[in-house]
């Protein structure tokens, strides 16, 4: 389920730029600087997204390709 995050209203009383995200860790604010020239209809804003990242899973086994049974693998593939 996506949520709408932008609630900034432009000079015409409309919300023109939308921010949708599945994450609840989204913040936004009016930007101090813009990448390009802006007008009163499209305000520049910054979006901060802090996704939750799962810790790395450690693999406790090693594949032994040197001693693999390639004949059996070939039979399984064909």
pLDDT over 50 (residue 1): no
Tokens of 10: 């432009």
Report pLDDT for 72: 92
pLDDT over 50 (residue 77): yes
Distances in whole angstroms, Cα of residue 32 to Cα of each of 5, 6, 63? 19, 17, 53
Enter the pTM of the model. Answer: 0.45
């Amino acid at each position: 389920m996506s949520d709408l995050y932008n609630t900034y209203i432009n000079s015409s009383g409309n919300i023109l730029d939308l921010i949708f995200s599945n994450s609840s860790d989204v913040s936004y604010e009016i930007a101090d600087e813009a990448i390009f020239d802006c007008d009163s209809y499209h305000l520049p804003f910054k979006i901060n997204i802090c996704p939750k990242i799962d810790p790395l899973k450690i693999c406790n086994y090693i594949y032994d390709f040197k001693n693999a049974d390639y004949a059996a693998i070939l039979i399984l593939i064909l």
